Amino acid sequence: MELKGKKVTVLGAGETGLQSALFLAEQGARVYLSELKTEEKLKLETGRLSKAGIEFAFGGHDWNEIRNSELVIISPGICPSVDLYQHIVRARIPIWSEIELAYRFCPSEIIAITGTSGKTTVSHLIRNALLQGGRLVTVCGNIGNAFVREVNSLSPSALAVVEVSSFQLVHIDQFRPHVSVLLNLSANHLDWHADYEEYARAKCRIFKNQGPDDIAVINGTDEECVLRTRDLNVKKVFFDRTQTGDLNRAVVKAVADLYHVDEAITERVLDEFIGLEHRFEDLGTYREVRYINDSKSTTVASLRWALDRAGKGVILIVGGTYKGGDLASLRTDIQRKVRAMIALGASKHLWKDAFSDLIPIHMAASLEEAMDCARRLSHPGETVLFSPACSSFDMFRDYKDRGERFKSILAQWREALAPI
C-alpha cells in the first residue's frame, strides 16, 4: 500500500501506537500522533517522535487536527462508544488496528492466535516448536511486541506467529492469516464491547478473509468455538484437549503437525517449557509460604485456570478494573481452593459481594497492603496467589508493571530477612 504523503493519525502512544507511528514515518506518511496522557508521562517517547519528524500532541485529542486524516490507526484502549470514535466514523475516515497496518506490508506467512485465555503461552509454544523444527519464526502482536515492529525484519521464508485481540480484530479490513487459531470463547472485555455477542463476533473476525486454501485450527471441545465456526469456507482442524489433558499441548501439536514438525520435537518443547513471566510464575517460598505471580490473569477464565493449578489452602489476591464475565462460575473453585480472599482496586466491592458468603474477604487500598494482609493470613504450606482476573489500568501501567511490583515487594521482604 502506498502511504507516502498521506496524512495518517495514530491514536494512542502505547507500544502499538508508537511503533505504528515510527513505521508510518518510514513509509513517508505525514504522521500525527495523538495521546490523552500528558507529555510529562511520556518523556522517553517524545525524543524518538521528534527525531522521526512525527507531529504529536499529548494531553488530549484535537478533532480539528484529526478530521483531515486519510487513515486512522487506533489504540485498543479507545472503544467505539467514545465521542472521538464516533466523529471518525461519521467523517468516513478508514480506521485500522496496528495488525491491519502490519499485514499490508508483511512478506511472511501468518499464524494468528486468538481466544479468551491462553493466547500468549500458546503463541510462544508454537514459536518454540516451529523454531526447533527448523523454521525461521517471529512471535509478536498482542504479547507486547508489536507486529508492525517486526515487519521490516521478516522475509518470505519466515513465519509470523501473531497473537491478536478482539480489539484489534474489530478494526481489520484485509488481514488474512494462512493459519488461524481459536482457543476458546467466554465472556470478556464487556467494559469495551457492548455485550458478549459483539465480543464473540469480534474474535471470529480472525476468519473473515480466509479462503479454501487457508486453515482454521479450532478447539473442538469448546461448544461456542464449534458453533461459531460451522459455516467457515476453510480447511478446519479440530484439536481435542481431552485426549492430551491440556489445551496447550493439544493446540501446539495440531499447529506443529501442519508444518511437519517431528512429534518428538514438539513433545520436548512442551515438556521443557518453564512458563512465561507473570503467568503463574512460581516465586518460591517466603516463611514456608509459596508465592505465585499470575499478574497476566485479567479474566475470570484465567483465574479459574490458575486456581486449578494452585492446590488447596490458597490466599487469593484479586481485583482491578473488572472486564466482565461470570463471577458466579468461580464459586465452586473458590469454595474448594481458597481459604481467604484479598480484594483491591476499582472492583474490590464486586468481589466482596460475590464471595463473602463463602470465605473471609479482606479489602486493601494498595498492592502493598494486600500483600501485608496475605502475609499475616497465610500459614506454612499454603499459597499466596496473585491472580487479579481484572485489567491493571486503575492502579498500574499494565499487567507487567503490576507483576513487577508484586515481585519487588516479595524481594524486599526477603532482603530484610537476609543476614548482614
**In the numeric block, which cell numbers belong to residue 295?**
499478574
Task: Please give the pLDDT value at position 170.
Answer: 94
Task: Please give the pLDDT value at position 41.
Answer: 53
Query: Do residues 303 and 387 lie in contact, with contact meaning Cβ atoms separated by under 8 Å?
Result: yes
Axis crossing angle, helix 119-132 with helix 247-258, rounded to the nearest 10: 40
- Sign of the four-CA dihedral 197, 10, 97, 185: negative
Task: Please give the pLDDT value at position 44.
Answer: 60
Query: Do residues 209 and 100 lie in contact, with contact meaning Cβ atoms separated by under 8 Å?
Result: no
Q: What is the pLDDT of residues 386-411, one digit of tens each?
A: 999 999 988 998 899 999 999 999 99
Sheet strands (E) in 118-220: 137-141, 159-163, 179-182, 215-219
pLDDT digits (tens), the chain, 420 positions: 789 999 999 998 888 999 999 999 999 999 999 988 776 556 666 778 888 899 988 888 899 999 999 999 998 878 888 899 999 999 999 999 999 999 999 999 999 999 988 899 999 999 999 999 999 999 999 888 899 999 999 999 999 999 999 999 999 999 999 999 999 998 767 777 778 899 999 999 999 999 999 999 999 999 999 999 999 999 999 999 887 668 899 999 999 999 999 999 999 999 988 777 898 999 999 999 999 999 999 989 889 889 988 988 999 999 999 988 889 989 999 999 999 999 999 999 999 999 999 999 999 999 999 999 999 999 999 999 999 999 998 899 889 999 999 999 999 999 887 655
pTM score above 0.75: yes
Task: Please give the pLDDT value at position 43.
Answer: 60
| CA-closest candidate to residue 161, choices 110, 205, 94, 200 | 110
Task: Please give the pLDDT value at position 153.
Answer: 94
Task: Please give the pLDDT value at position 115.
Answer: 94
**134 Cβ neighbours under 8 A, 6+ residues apart:** none
CATH number of 7-96: 3.40.50.720
Return the CATH superfamily for domain 99-272: Mur-like, catalytic domain (3.40.1190.10)
Q: Could you tell me if residue 136 is left (phi over 0), alpha (psi between -120 and 50 degrees) or otherwise beta?
A: beta
> Which fold, 281-417?
Protein-Tyrosine Phosphatase; Chain A (3.90.190)
d(CA 28, CA 26): 5
Q: Where in the chain is the domain with CATH 3.40.50.720?
A: 7-96
Task: Please give the pLDDT value at position 39.
Answer: 62
